Amino acid sequence: MSDSTKIGRTLLHTRRRMSDESFITLLVASVAVGLFLFASILVPNFFQLQNMLNLVTNNWAVISLGVGVTFLLVSGNFDLSVGGIVALSGVLAVWFSQSAGGGSALSTGLGFPYWLAVIGALGGALAIGALNALFVVRFRIPSIIVTLGTMMLARGFAQVITQGSQRNTNLPDVFGMLGNLTVFGASVKLPVVLMVILLVIAVFIEKKTVFGRLTYWIGANAVAARLSGIDKDRHVTYLYLFSSAIAGIVGILLASEFKSGYSNRGTLMEFDALVIALLGGVAIAGGFGSVVGMFFGALILAVVTSAATGLVLSPDWQYILKAIAVFVAILTQTWALARRNR
Amino acid sequence: MMSQSSTLAQPPATRGVRVAHFLRNYYIYFVLVAVVALLSVANLDKFDLFERGNFLNEKSIINILRVSAPLLTLAGAFTLLMVSGYIDLSVGSTMSLSAVIYALLAINGVPFLAAFAITMVAGAGLGAFNGFLVVRLKITPVIATLITLSLFKGMALLLVQDGVSAIKSGGGQKMPGWFNSYGREGTLLNLPMAFWVAVAVTLVLVIAQNRTLLGKYAAATGGNPTAAKLSGINTGKIVILLYVIVGVSAALAGIARSSFMSLGDPLSGDGMELTAILVVLLGGTAFSGGEGRVLRSFVGALIIMALTVGMLTVVPAYYQTLVLGAVLLAAAASNHLISRKETAS
Amino acid sequence: MTDQSQSPVLSVEALTKDYPGVRAVDDVSFSIESSTVHCLVGENGAGKSTLIKMLTGALQPTSGRMKVRGSAYEPGNPHDAREGGIATLFQELHVVDELTVLENLTLGMERSRFGFLVKSDLDDRVVQTLAAIEPSIDPSARVSSLSVAQKQIIEIARAASSGASVIIMDEPTAALSEREVARLFGVIRRLRETDVTVVYISHKLDEIFELGDAVTVLRDGKHIVTKPLSDVAGRSELIEMMIGRNVFQDYTPRTAVTNEAVLIARGLTNKLLKDVSFEINRGEIVGFYGLVGAGKTEIARALFGADKVSGSILFKGQKVGNSPKEAIAAGIALVPEERRTQGLFTSLTIRENIPVMNLKRLSNRGVFRSSVELEAADEYVGKLNIATSSIDKYAEKLSGGNQQKIVLAKCLFADADLLLLDEPTRGVDVGAKAEIYDIIRSMADEGNSVAVFSSELEEVLGICDRIFLLFDGSLETEVINGPDVDAAHILNVVTGGRGGAVQ
């Protein structure tokens, strides 16, 4: 083969077409921007820098959870336990930190130093993740059932520890630090910064590492992945641990922000995390989707709900708007992909 | 004629398969007996739903059956849908929306039977909408019914005025007297109408499962969809019909609950989808479709209600979620082990 | 019974089916008499399955006619075919495990009033039909408790009681034990007595002589002969008609073959395999040839560690066979039997498919080296001549041949020393086939070893240096390929004629 034909061939084959994934991400991003502009026309004072920032910063918890949930969905698995884990790890962090020997049961904790309490809370979160992995990977029970069960289990533990309400007394001062720390003057809270870092790391893992690619291979065809030498069980286990660790950290930060461990914290967050992933074009069949898409999906949801608030619609509208957004998103994405690949 | 091929005797199902099948069919009844036995020796003094120190008496049993009516109404239809390989996560919201509609009708002077009928029709419509999304628009059942979970819940919330948590007497309007009696007032055997409706719904569905085309085709659709289609069965129609039946059952459950609580609460069905899944899994219904019995789910619902209500007498209420989560995981695991045994021939 | 049996129940006239570049069925005409067992034989690729697909409505003929009892028959789908009285026993069973035998037998034919099932003569009729063909099955048993063979009989009984006059059975004994085969034959004979015609497709010639009334031989898409089996002299005559005179020999002995064993397998045994032992040498292309269900795929998967079997497998002195991961690390790669479901990531692009089996080469401390991926994609698309406009095209959008080349590219990228190819050219057009053979040869010439698991005689005779012959889970014998290789002998062995010709 002469050099010239080789070059010609190289050019021919590397002529790259935008992938479906980038296409969908772009679609989702343009919808997010379009909705924002549209809302700016309808809603007075919507078009402001602070408002744009708020759309992201108010949703740091769900977006962070969305990262783990997106990875799992791409690998072909659900994780509905993240909301429960948020409650559990927050409650654990509080319980471990509360000084021993308080006035009542709910004000008496284990008196651990804060760092140990955080590690303990994270351990609790990882235990739920490990349980997810055990049931999904080892017993081969559908992940939606398993994670519904562990969602109840995690929240159940939180409720038992808080006796169905909350623990917020007898906490060391250091407990409220992490969640309320601000950086860049006083404008951005630490959890938001952590979310940004998490997003950057997640995009890097997804696009640039073998780990990320393994996730797509497993989700696209688990049988072929196994016959290509991929240890699917181990990988899915890692993903569940990863997702539960994120949820654990979110729970610890929220507990710190509110200086309380509340057993109903994070209720429905698992559904919101799933919803933003779906809005962002992640396919529940696996093998398709991206963290960036999920992020823009979160923006769509944020724009829709905050515009509704701005229009003085009753907050009850958010459920209907969420439903319509997902419905339209799913139909549009299916339609756009079918058209593009016709 | 029988003797000429006796050499070709049927290889009998292995013992493991038979045991697994027996377990799937009957274990639920043992569990029921065990739960009741457990509760009857427990110390029940703390809770005023029961006669002091005794579970097995009229008042306690009537109380449990009264609060069980919504779940008992829903369990059968939910089972049939799962048997066909589909799922409805919107049942809780359907229930809430129906409860609100029913209460609204009642408080605005619509007579009992008319309100009842209109709510059932509404439930059928909500179910049909689910069926439409799943069968016609081909949206995955989990996603489609997650969408309607949110949608129906939003509608229920919007039907209740701002600043008020539920439809109830007050502000010049008053619930009619009959509203409360359907779910609470004792009739036959001192049990309310709502309970007897639950029993009737279950009976109808047991008959439907055993004696009608619907029951058989649901099993065929869930067990082997290709075979069902090749046999000329319109599986789409079956699935839509099943969603409608689930919708109607959820509406009846909503009526029962709103009547029991004397109000139309837009959050009254929250979490019902979880309890329903729990109940049918406990009843041995396979998540993958094909396998499941209406009657077993009814018993599963009784167990869950006996457990949750009975548990209140032993441990504080905040133990409930934990115990139910553990039961869900245990039921899923044991189900799974049983079906693995059944097919390991 | 009546004079209906005088006219043929099913006939095809000048039936032709074209695929792009291939005429799979070429002007075939023959007819099948009523109440007979009519056997259809031919080498793989002779056109049997295409013919069957047209009869069952899964494919539409390019030209020609089909007739049932003298009137035109044009099924648009399998359901049409069933209405037309032609039922098929697919390899994949269409029974509902969760229902009882009786419920399965009446599925879709129930009598009902207002949706309620009503008792009718239908139940009695199907029970009688079942009792007539297999009295030992209890109609009230759940189908999940039955064996595969019994489920097959349920399907047959359902076809018979739905009024089918012709039942097509495509390799029905592939998954059955000897006893179950005997039982199935009993069923088929009783069916014939009840005026049902059976079209029986099998490679096992003994079965055909035992069971058949007439036989039709196809070769290269053409009809060779239809005649009563009583007029066929024996296995050898049948084999001769299947192979024809044109012996497809383009094998030339290769020089790269050594005597250095790289893989030694001893006593491989599982449900199907019976104590299979063999060695594969460096630089060699070996073939594993046998019928469907003879154990080829089982051996391939065992060597690759995809299924555990008892026995030992040593590759370059190292024990393998525990997991695909271990096999790949040791230098073994597999092109699996089912390309779309086992080999390919159809929803991913060519570029993303190729590197999966060699993550080491692709990673720099866990970071993905996309330049390597791009180069690999370009290199293999060029080297294997994969026809595509872009390496970012989805694997799903490619033709069967190009898809198979991508699966091959995956294995080549893995730098394997032993390549296992399970049916490497199934569903691949002629041009791509030749290219795949070239790739296999050059791979072996470079000092690697290749094992081809195939049910196509032409394939193994074309490229393999040594051929292991399999029948019913055991390795019967091996044949050294060469100009004077005896194709008839090979066919005889793999069709069950262990000790020579069986008359």
Is beta strand C318-319 parallel, antiparallel or unpaired with respect to C310-315? antiparallel
Helix and strand numbers (H, E) in chain C are 17, 24
Q: Rounded to whole angstroms, how far apart are CA atoms A159 and A153?
A: 10
Q: What is the dihedral of CA B320, B321, B322, B328, to 10 degrees?
A: 110
pLDDT at A179 (0 to 100):
82
| Partners of residue C167 on adjacent β-strands | C87, C198
> To which H or E segment does residue C342 belong?
none
Residue stretches of chain A with pLDDT short of 70: 1-18, 186, 341-342
Give contacts of C132 with chain B, Cβ < 8 Å.
1
Alpha helix stretches (DSSP H) within C347-468: 350-353, 359-362, 370-383, 400-413, 430-445, 457-463
State which residue of chain C sits closest to B4, comparing Cα positions: C135
What chains are in contact with C, requiring at least 3 Cβ pairs below 8 Å? A, B
- Contact of B47 with chain A, judged by CB distance below 8 Å, is answered with no
- Chain B, nearest residue to A140 by Cα: B336
Chain B closest CA to C139's CA: distance in Å? Answer: 12
- Write out the two tokens for B340: 């693995």
* pLDDT-based confidence at residue C70 (cuts at 50, 70, 90): confident
- Residue ranges per structural domain of chain A: 19-340
What one-character DSSP code corresponds to residue B264? B
Beta bridge partners of C418: C332, C449
- Quote the DSSP letter at residue C135: T
For residue A210, the chain C residue with the least C-alpha distance is: C368
DSSP H or E run through C237: helix C235-243
CB contacts, 8 Å: A215 with chain C: none
Of C367, C374, C392, Cβ closest to residue A208: C367
Neighbour-count burial of C262, counting CB atoms closer than 10 A to its CB (0-12 exposed, 13-18 middle, 19+ buried): buried
Least confident of A106-110, B298-302, C331-335: A106-110
Cβ distance C343 to C407 under 8 Å? yes
Are the beta carbons of A217 and C410 separated by less than 8 Å?
Answer: no
How many CB atoms are located within 10 Å of the residue B330 CB? 13
Chain C positions touching B226 (Cβ under 8 A) are: 92, 94
C383 Cα distance to chain centroid: 30
- The pLDDT assigned to C1 comes to 40
> Within C273-347, where are the H helices?
296-304, 324-330
Residue C245: the pLDDT is: 54
Q: How many CB pairs under 8 A join B and C?
A: 94
Distance CA A129, CA A77 (A): 13
Mean pLDDT of C13-32: 86
| DSSP assignments along C144-200, one per residue | GGS-HHHHHHHHHHHHHHTT-SEEEEESTTTT--HHHHHHHHHHHHHHHHTT-EEEE
Distance from CA of C272 to the nearest CA of A (A): 21
Residues in chain A with CB shorter than 8 Å from the CB of B319 are 156, 159-160
The pLDDT of residue B46 is above 60: no
Predicted pLDDT at B62: 84
**A145 Cβ contact partners less than 8 Å away, ≥ 6 residues apart:** B277, B281, B287, B328, B332
Angstrom distance (rounded) from CA A135 to CA A141: 6
What integer is the mean pLDDT of C207-227? 90
Residue C242 three-state SS: helix
Domains defined for chain C, CATH in brackets: 7-243 (3.40.50.300), 261-494 (3.40.50.300)
Mean pLDDT of C215-236: 88
Could you please report the per-residue DSSP string of B52-71? Answer: TT-SSSHHHHHHHHHHHHHH
pLDDT bin (cut points 50, 70, 90) of residue C129 is confident
Identify the band that residue B44 occupies on the pLDDT scale cut at 50, 70 and 90. low
Could you say which of A210, A227, A228 has the minimum Cβ distance to residue C363?
A: A210
Residue B236 has pLDDT above 90, yes or no: yes
Put simply, the answer to whether C341 touches A221 (Cβ < 8 Å) is yes
User: What pLDDT score does A334 carry?
Assistant: 83
Q: How confident is the model at residue C183 (pLDDT cuts 50, 70, 90)?
A: confident
For residues C148 and C184, is the Cβ–Cβ distance under 8 A? no
Q: Residue A230 and residue C410: Cα distance in Å, rounded?
A: 13
Distance from CA of A255 to the nearest CA of C (A): 34
Judged against a pLDDT cut of 60, whether residue B297 lies above it is answered with yes
Cα–Cα distance between B292 and B287 in angstroms, integer? 9
Give the nearest chain B residue to C79 (CA atoms): B230
CA distance B170 to B167: 9
Phi, psi angle pair for A111, to nearest 5°: 70, 30
Q: What is the CA radius of gyration of chain C?
A: 25
DSSP string, C442-492: HHHHTT-EEEEEES-HHHHHHH-SEEEEEETTEEEEEEE-STT--HHHHHH
Angle between helices A269-279 and B141-159 (to 10 degrees): 120
| Percentage of chain C lying above the pLDDT 70 cut | 96
pLDDT of res. B10:
42
Residue A155 C-alpha, separation from nearest chain C C-alpha, in angstroms = 36
Does B280 lie at the interface with C, CB-CB under 8 angstroms? no
Q: How confident is the model at residue C417 (pLDDT cuts 50, 70, 90)?
A: very high
How many other CB atoms are there within 10 angstroms of residue A113's CB atom? 12
Three-state secondary-structure class, residue C139: coil
Comparison of pLDDT for B58 and A68, the residue scoring more: A68
Query: Which token pair is C274?
Result: 């019976």
Band of pLDDT at residue B169, cut at 50, 70 and 90: confident
How far apart CA B174 and CA B262 sit, in angstroms, is: 11
Q: What is the per-residue pLDDT for C220? A: 83
Reported as a pLDDT band with limits 50, 70 and 90, residue B178 is confident
Suggest the residue from C107, C128, C133, C176 to mutate for an interface test with chain B (most B CBs closer than 10 A): C107
Q: Token digits for C340?
A: 């779309």
What's the whole-number mean pLDDT along residues C324-344? 91
Chain C neighbours among A 258-297 (CB < 8 Å)?
287-288
Measured CB to CB, residues of chain C less than 8 Å from chain A are 304, 306, 323-325, 327-329, 334, 336, 341-349, 352, 356-357, 359, 362-363, 366-368, 370, 374, 377-378, 381-382, 388-394, 397, 410
Question: Can you tell me the distance from the alpha carbon of A195 to that of C424, in angstroms, rounded to the nearest whole number?
Answer: 49
pLDDT at B42: 64
Q: What is the CATH number of domain B28-35+55-343?
A: 1.10.3470
Q: Using CB atoms, which chains have 3+ pairs under 8 A with A?
A: B, C
Q: Give yes or no for a contact between A149 and B328, defined as CB atoms under 8 angstroms apart.
A: yes
CA–CA gap between residue B181 and residue B187 (Å, rounded): 9
Residue B47 has pLDDT above 70, yes or no: no
More confidently predicted of A227 and C250: A227
Contact state of C115 with B213 under an 8 Å Cβ cutoff? yes
CATH assignment of A19-340?
1.10.3470
- Asked if A220 and C381 come within 8 Å (Cβ–Cβ), the reply is no
Angle made by CA atoms B11, C157, C203, in degrees to the nearest 5: 80
Q: Is A163 on the interface with B (CB under 8 A)?
A: yes
Residues of B with Cβ-Cβ distance to C115 under 8 angstroms: 212-214
Helix/strand/coil for A260: coil
Nearest to B90, CA basis, from B36, B34, B141, B161: B141
Considering only residues C498 and C495, tell me which one the structure prediction assigns the higher pLDDT: C495
Q: Which amino acid is at A22?
A: S
Residue B74 pLDDT level (bands cut at 50, 70, 90)? very high
Q: How far apart are CA C212 and CA C207, in angstroms?
A: 8
Name the CA dihedral angle for C85, C90, C96, C97, rounded to a multiple of 10 degrees. Answer: 140
Mean pLDDT calculated for residue range B271-286:
90
DSSP letter for each residue of B231-242: TT--HHHHHHHH
- For residues C62-68, average pLDDT: 91
Chains contacting B (3+ CB pairs below 8 angstroms): A, C
* Confidence band, pLDDT 50/70/90 cuts, at residue B242: very high
Instruction: Indicate the average pLDDT of chain C.
Output: 86
- The conformational region for residue C475 under phi > 0 = left, psi -120 to 50 = alpha, else beta, is beta
pLDDT at C248: 54
Closest alpha carbon within chain B to C93: B227
- pLDDT of B55 strictly over 70: no
Long-range CB contacts (< 8 A, 24+ apart) of B18-27? B18/C145, B19/B341, B20/B338, B20/B339, B20/B341, B20/B342, B21/B342, B21/C142, B21/C145, B23/B338, B24/B284, B24/B291, B24/B338, B24/B339, B24/B342, B25/B284, B25/B293, B25/B296, B27/B284
Q: Are strands C332-335 and C418-422 parallel, antiparallel or unpaired?
A: parallel
Q: What local confidence, expressed as pLDDT, does residue A8 receive? A: 41
